[in-house]
Amino acid sequence: MNIGPYEFSEFKELAVKFHGYAAPGLLIGGYMTTAAMAALPAGVLFEALVETYNCLPDAVQLLTPCSTGNKRLHVAPYGKTALSLFDKYTGRGIRARVDPGLLGPWPEIRAWIMKEKSKEEQDEALLERQIAEAGTTIIALQPVSVDLSRLNRKSDGPLAVCPRCGESFPTAHGSLCRACTEGAPYSAAS
Amino acid sequence: MNIGPYEFSEFKELAVKFHGYAAPGLLIGGYMTTAAMAALPAGVLFEALVETYNCLPDAVQLLTPCSTGNKRLHVAPYGKTALSLFDKYTGRGIRARVDPGLLGPWPEIRAWIMKEKSKEEQDEALLERQIAEAGTTIIALQPVSVDLSRLNRKSDGPLAVCPRCGESFPTAHGSLCRACTEGAPYSAAS
């Protein structure tokens, strides 16, 4: 089954280029994104909320206009194989998730998604074949309303120079930049 | 000046495709990424820490193997035009930022980066020309050491079914999934 406008093998090539390899989560995420997009009204300007950092954000970035750097892709770190596409202005949209109840015919997908097997026990070729055959049939869709006020969509606003580090930062963050107040995860090295 | 392996106009096309438009921040981010990569030891397996959600994450995603969904791209929401590329195993790397002290010859870039002009007052064509001519000469590089323990790199670990919503989630998050404990930003709609 096609993934968005791509044949399965084409999408795999894109996945390798962008993500490093055609991970099962990226292929399944491709079908989740395909199913959710098809359920949106035509022509809607949408954003995405993905509920895991694992693979799915890249499926959205490969198949939709939403990206991390244009702030139309939002990630909630829930560790769930689920994503929503929603109207940028109203928040109304569609949540897609893999429904375990639909995995009966696809034991290798079930084992992978529920982490029932170790990496060594997995049959990768069989898993990929089942993903391609199952396509969007394992995806459950649900209409949702997203609370836009809880997403990071604001502009940074005016800037000032941080009196501690001397770098510019948004004045909305306070009198010092966040790197100075929180302690940045990097430090100068020689 | 080239941006990574691309001519300026080629990179602009990639930017339009992936990001929606060739935003100034994405072009400058392209030069920041180019400069930081060139300063890394050859062959190092690296990750990226970007200090804003604005545009720069997409420059990194277009020019490096780091992406949101393969978890080699990390974002700290400091609102700073800065990014670091660092060795995945040691954390040692290079931080790149636009140095206002180097912007003397490029008043349009300075006005843009310090938000001194409104969108209407900006001369977009001139800004783009100055970005292309300045290239990496406005970028200051600094060796840094990144504290790897502060980045999101862990696997989710074993899964369980959330007794409230019935969806699977990482047991490391507690007895309920985070969507249930925190209240997800989406709710069922009809």
Would the pLDDT of B153 be above 80? no
Task: Say whether both B166 and B114 belong to one domain.
Answer: no
- What is the DSSP code (8-state) at residue A62? H
Q: H/E element holding B122? A: none
Which residues in chain A are closer than 8 Å to B144, comparing Cβ atoms?
186-189
Closest A-chain CA to B190 = A143
Nearest CA to CA, how far is A46 from chain B (Å)? 13
Task: Say whether both A61 and A22 belong to one domain.
Answer: yes
In this prediction, residue A154 carries a pLDDT of 79
Q: How many domains would you assign to chain B? A: 2
Contact B31, B60 (CB under 8 A): no
CATH code, domain carrying A159: 3.30.60.80
B8-19 and B56-63 helices cross at what angle (nearest 10)? Answer: 110
Which domain, by its residues, includes B176?
Answer: 154-190
* Mean pLDDT of the region B130-142: 97
Closest CA to A71 of B76, B55, B152, B26: B55
In this prediction, residue B155 carries a pLDDT of 84
Query: Is there a domain that residue A3 lies in?
Result: no
In this prediction, residue B81 carries a pLDDT of 96
Percent of chain B with pLDDT over 90: 91
Would the pLDDT of B15 be above 90? yes
CATH code, domain carrying A81: 3.30.1330.130
With CB atoms and an 8 Å threshold, state whether A179 touches B78.
Answer: yes
In this prediction, residue A118 carries a pLDDT of 85
With CB atoms and an 8 Å threshold, state whether B168 touches A70.
Answer: no
Question: Who has greater pLDDT, A8 or A153?
Answer: A8
* Mean pLDDT of the region A81-85: 97
Q: What is the ipTM of this complex?
A: 0.95
Which residues in chain A are closer than 8 Å to B156, comparing Cβ atoms?
52, 54, 79
Q: What pTM was computed for the model?
A: 0.96
Given CA atoms A171, A174, A176, A181 in this order, what sign does their dihedral have?
A: negative
CA A115 to chain CA mean position, Å: 20
Query: Is there a domain that residue A1 lies in?
Result: no
Query: Is there a domain that residue B159 lies in?
Result: yes
Interface test with B, best of A88, A186, A187, A190 (most B CBs within 10 A): A186
Task: Say whether both B37 and B102 belong to one domain.
Answer: yes
Tokens read off for A52 = 């895991």
Task: Say whether both A100 and A77 belong to one domain.
Answer: yes
With CB atoms and an 8 Å threshold, state whether B80 touches A179.
Answer: yes
What are A114-172's pLDDT values in tens digits?
888 888 888 999 999 999 999 999 999 999 999 999 997 778 899 999 999 999 999 99
Return d(Cα B118, Cα B30) in angstroms, integer.
24
For residue B154, name the pLDDT band (cuts at 50, 70, 90). confident
Least confident of A53-62, A148-157, B62-71, B161-170: A148-157
Task: Say whether both A110 and A166 belong to one domain.
Answer: no
With CB atoms and an 8 Å threshold, state whether A77 touches B152.
Answer: yes
Query: Is there a domain that residue A127 lies in?
Result: yes
Least confident of A13-22, B95-104, B114-123: B114-123
Closest CA to A98 of A130, A42, A141: A141
Task: Say whether both B53 and B145 belong to one domain.
Answer: yes
Closest CA to B82 of B105, B108, B59: B59
With CB atoms and an 8 Å threshold, state whether A144 touches B187.
Answer: yes
* Mean pLDDT of the region A18-32: 97
In this prediction, residue B152 carries a pLDDT of 78
Would the pLDDT of A105 be above 90? yes
CA B73 to chain CA mean position, Å: 7
Mean pLDDT of chain B: 95
Closest B-chain CA to A52 = B69
Task: Say whether both B21 and B104 belong to one domain.
Answer: yes
Query: Is there a domain that residue B3 lies in?
Result: no
CA A73 to chain CA mean position, Å: 7
In this prediction, residue B92 carries a pLDDT of 97
Contact B123, B131 (CB under 8 A): no
